[in-house]
C-alpha cells in the first residue's frame, strides 16, 4: 500500500475545550500517524514539557502508551520539527498578534479565534484588537479566507491564513446561504435567528453566567443586538443589520447548537422545491445533511460529530418558512471544521479523519 501523503502540524493552545477536541482529531487522523502534532502551551514544568494527558485526561491511551507532550514554545522547536501548518486555538488578541510571525516563516495558519474572520473594521471592532504593525495586519486581513468549506472550498485550498468561522454563525450561514443565493427570501420582511448553545461555547474559563448554579435548570438570552458573531452573518450572507436579527441563548447542556430561523419567501414555494434547493447547494458537501420536509434535526443527532443537519417546515401559505440547523459547537462549530479546512489545504478528502 502506498504511503499516505502527510503534513507536519502544530497546535498552539491545547488546553481548552476546542483544543482538546482538536488534539483528539489530529492524533487519530490517518494522514498524521507518522507525523503526530506538536503541541505548544504555557509550560511551567522545569523540563519544558508536560504530558498532554495532564491537560486533557480524556485522551489518555492506557496500557502505558503515552501521547506527545505539550511543550514550551520556541521558534527553534518549530523549525526543528519542520512545521507546515499551525492551528491557533488561542484568545482573539493573541492570535491577531501571533499569526503574522508564523506566516512570515512560511507556515500556514488556521485560526480558531475571531481575530481574522471579519474584513469590515466596523464589525471587527467588537473584538477590540490592536496591531503592532497596522499595515501588515491590514494586508493579511485582505488575504484571510473565511473557513466555511461549503462556501469557500476553492479559496481555502490555496490559502495561507484561514479564519475558522464561529459556531453560531456556522449554524446560521449554512442554513440560509442556499435560499439567499437562490434569491428566494423576502429581505424586506427580515430574518429572525433564534439560536441556543451548550455551555462549552463560552470556553473553559468559568464566568458568573456559565457556572453550574446559573446555567443548570435555566435558559437565558444574552448579547442581544451585540453578539460578536453577527458581523460574520452580515459579511458572509451579504445582509444589512436591518435584514437579520440574531439572538443567542444559553442552554444547560455541555455542547451543541440548535438555531431556529424564521424566513419569509418573496413568492410562494412548494416543500419539494425548497428541499431541492438545499440538496443541490450541498450536493458536494459531505459534512452537511439535509433533511426531508418536516423532518427537523435535534442536537442529539449531531453531538460528537462534524455534521451540520438542516431541516425545515413550510407553512401552508408557501411563504413562511422555519429552518432548523443543528451542529456540535466544538466540532463543526470549531475543531472539526478546522480539520476539514486542513484537509482542503493539503488536498486530502474533505471528510478524512472526521
Residues 157 and 138: their CA atoms lie apart, in Å, by 22
DSSP classification of residue 200: G
**Cα 258 from chain centre:** 15
Q: How many CA atoms does the CB half-sphere of 235 hold within 13 Å?
A: 21
Answer whether 129's CB lies under 8 Å from 144's CB: no
- 262 φ, ψ (degrees, to nearest 5): -110, 120
| 167, 193, 308, 326: the active-site residue | 167
Task: Mark residue 241 as left, alpha or beta (left: phi above 0; alpha: psi -120 to 50; beta: remaining).
Answer: alpha
Cell numbers found for residue 11: 497546535
Active site residue 193: no
Reduced to 3 states, what is the DSSP secondary structure of residue 320?
A: strand
The grid cell for 329 is 459547537
In the numeric block, which cell numbers belong to residue 252? 444547560
User: How many residues does this entry show for the chain?
Assistant: 354
**Residue 114 near residue 39, CB atoms below 8 Å:** no
Q: Which residues, including other chains, have CB under 8 Å from residue 184's CB and lie 6 or more apart?
A: 265, 266, 267, 269, 277
CA-based R_g, the chain, Å: 20
Instruction: Give the span between the Cα atoms of 141 and 218, in whole angstroms.
Output: 39
Short-list 62, 63, 58, 74, CA closest to 23: 58
Catalytic residues: 167
Amino acid at each position: 500500500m502506498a504511503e499516505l501523503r502527510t503534513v507536519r502540524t502544530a497546535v498552539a493552545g491545547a488546553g481548552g475545550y476546542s483544543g482538546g477536541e482538536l488534539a483528539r482529531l489530529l492524533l487519530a487522523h490517518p494522514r498524521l500517524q507518522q507525523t503526530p502534532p506538536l503541541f505548544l502551551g504555557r509550560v511551567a514544568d522545569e523540563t519544558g514539557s508536560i504530558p498532554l494527558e495532564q491537560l486533557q485526561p480524556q485522551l489518555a491511551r492506557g496500557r502505558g502508551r503515552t501521547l506527545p507532550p505539550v511543550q514550551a514554545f520556541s521558534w527553534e522547536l518549530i523549525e526543528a520539527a519542520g512545521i507546515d501548518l499551525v492551528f491557533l486555538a488561542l484568545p482573539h488578541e493573541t492570535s491577531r498578534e501571533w499569526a503574522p510571525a508564523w506566516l512570515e516563516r512560511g507556515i500556514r495558519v488556521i485560526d480558531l479565534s475571531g481575530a481574522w474572520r471579519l474584513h469590515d473594521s466596523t464589525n471587527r471592532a467588537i473584538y477590540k484588537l490592536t496591531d503592532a504593525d497596522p499595515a501588515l495586519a491590514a494586508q493579511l486581513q485582505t488575504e484571510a479566507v473565511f473557513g466555511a468549506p461549503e462556501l469557500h472550498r476553492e479559496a481555502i485550498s490555496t490559502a495561507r491564513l484561514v479564519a475558522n468561522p464561529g459556531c453560531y454563525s456556522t449554524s446560521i450561514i449554512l442554513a440560509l446561504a442556499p435560499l439567499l443565493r437562490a434569491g428566494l427570501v423576502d429581505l424586506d420582511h427580515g430574518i429572525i435567528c433564534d439560536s441556543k448553545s451548550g455551555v462549552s461555547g463560552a470556553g473553559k474559563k468559568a464566568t458568573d453566567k456559565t457556572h453550574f448554579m446559573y446555567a443548570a435548570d435555566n435558559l437565558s438570552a444574552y448579547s442581544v443586538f451585540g453578539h460578536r458573531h453577527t458581523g460574520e452573518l452580515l459579511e458572509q450572507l451579504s445582509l444589512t443589520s436591518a435584514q437579520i436579527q440574531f439572538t443567542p441563548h444559553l442552554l444547560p447542556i455541555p455542547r451543541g447548537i440548535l438555531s431556529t430561523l424564521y424566513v419569509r419567501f418573496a413568492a410562494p414555494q412548494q416543500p419539494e422545491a425548497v428541499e431541492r434547493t438545499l440538496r443541490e447547494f450541498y450536493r458536494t458537501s459531505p459534512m452537511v445533511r439535509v433533511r426531508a420536509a418536516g423532518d427537523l434535526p435535534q442536537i442529539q443527532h449531531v453531538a460528537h460529530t462534524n455534521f451540520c443537519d438542516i431541516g425545515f417546515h413550510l407553512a401552508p401559505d408557501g411563504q413562511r418558512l422555519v429552518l432548523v440547523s443543528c451542529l456540535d459547537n466544538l466540532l463543526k462549530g470549531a475543531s472539526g471544521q478546522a480539520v476539514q479546512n486542513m484537509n482542503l489545504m493539503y488536498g486530502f478528502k474533505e471528510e478524512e479523519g472526521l
